[in-house]
């Protein structure tokens, strides 16, 4: 199993540019999460999808951030326009349902992250 | 809102010392509990999890954690740490009414001196 795949691994861009981060969850997983990690704020959940539908996006910082999941095997997180304070490591994670019954889920598996630097 | 507290932000130990990292949460209902580890420059990996059953959970690399419901705690332990355990450790809680969302603690940075 390849695990959660993220690209790019590193991104350096200038303020005002559009940034797109990509994630491929583990095959068969139906929940997908985008997190942001910084020294100051720790690990923050940005948005959570279940069966490709956004369930909770209350962690998305502002309108400059948007996330999509067009199908079960792909998600993007876009920042437009980017700002220096967006510099962070962005992690994607996925998990599967435990099977029977509603609301039962397995643990989350994290991808390697994208280190974003906005100059 | 639920919260997860990891009271020790930084811990420094010598090799072979015993480790206990605290984790407390604020939720009165049924929860799933997790400990993740993040080695320097890497992503989070699951150390162990508690869903139900025996409150003493064994994980990978000699780690264990004990769920004490009355204390709302899920402390992580290891009897003898190694230099390779240097990492950041995150406790996470998933209340049964929160769908699949985890609430993470602020993390504890462990440094093990050789």
Phi, psi of B70 (to 5 degrees): -65, -25
Q: Chain A residues contacting B, CB < 8 Å?
A: 31, 42-43, 45, 48, 50, 55-56, 91, 93, 95, 103, 105, 107-113
Determine the distance in angstroms separating the CA of B38 from the nearest CA of chain A, rounded to an integer. Answer: 10
Q: What pairs with residue B113 in β-bridges?
A: B14
pLDDT tens-digit series, residues A18-49: 999 999 999 999 999 999 999 888 899 999 99
Look up residue B5 and give its two tokens: 């507290």
Record: contact B100-A109, CB cut-off 8 A = no
pLDDT tens-digit series, residues B65-109: 999 999 999 999 999 999 999 999 999 999 887 778 889 999 999
State the 10-residue block means of pLDDT for chain A, 119 residues long: 91 97 96 94 92 92 94 96 96 83 76 96
Record: contact A95-B100, CB cut-off 8 A = yes
- Listed in order, strand segments (DSSP E) in chain A are 5-7, 10-13, 19-24, 31-38, 42-50, 53-56, 65-71, 74-79, 88-95, 109-110, 114-118
Mean per-residue pLDDT over chain A, rounded: 92
Question: Cα Rg for chain A, rounded, in angstroms?
Answer: 14
């Amino acid at each position: 199993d390849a695990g959660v795949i993220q690209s790019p691994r590193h991104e350096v861009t200038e303020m005002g540019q559009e940034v797109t981060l990509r994630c491929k969850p583990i095959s068969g997983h139906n929940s997908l999460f985008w997190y942001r990690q910084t020294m100051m704020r720790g690990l923050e959940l940005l948005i959570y999808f279940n069966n490709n539908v956004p369930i909770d996006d209350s962690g998305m910082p502002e309108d400059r951030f948007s996330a999509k999941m067009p199908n079960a095997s792909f998600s993007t997180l876009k920042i437009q326009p980017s700002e220096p304070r967006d510099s962070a490591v962005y992690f994607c994670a996925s998990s599967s349902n435990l099977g029977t019954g509603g609301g039962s889920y397995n643990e989350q598996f994290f991808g390697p992250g994208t280190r974003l630097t906005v100059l | 809102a639920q919260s997860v507290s990891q009271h020790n932000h930084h811990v420094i130990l010598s090799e072979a010392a015993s480790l206990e990292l605290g984790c407390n949460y604020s939720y009165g209902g049924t929860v799933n509990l997790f400990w993740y580890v993040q080695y320097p420059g890497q992503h989070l990996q699951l150390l162990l999890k508690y869903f139900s059953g025996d409150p003493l959970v064994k994980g990978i690399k000699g780690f264990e954690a004990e769920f004490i419901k009355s204390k709302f705690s899920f402390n992580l332990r290891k009897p003898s740490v190694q230099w390779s355990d240097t990492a950041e450790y995150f406790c996470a809680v998933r209340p049964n009414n929160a769908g699949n969302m985890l609430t993470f603690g602020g993390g504890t940075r462990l440094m093990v001196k050789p």
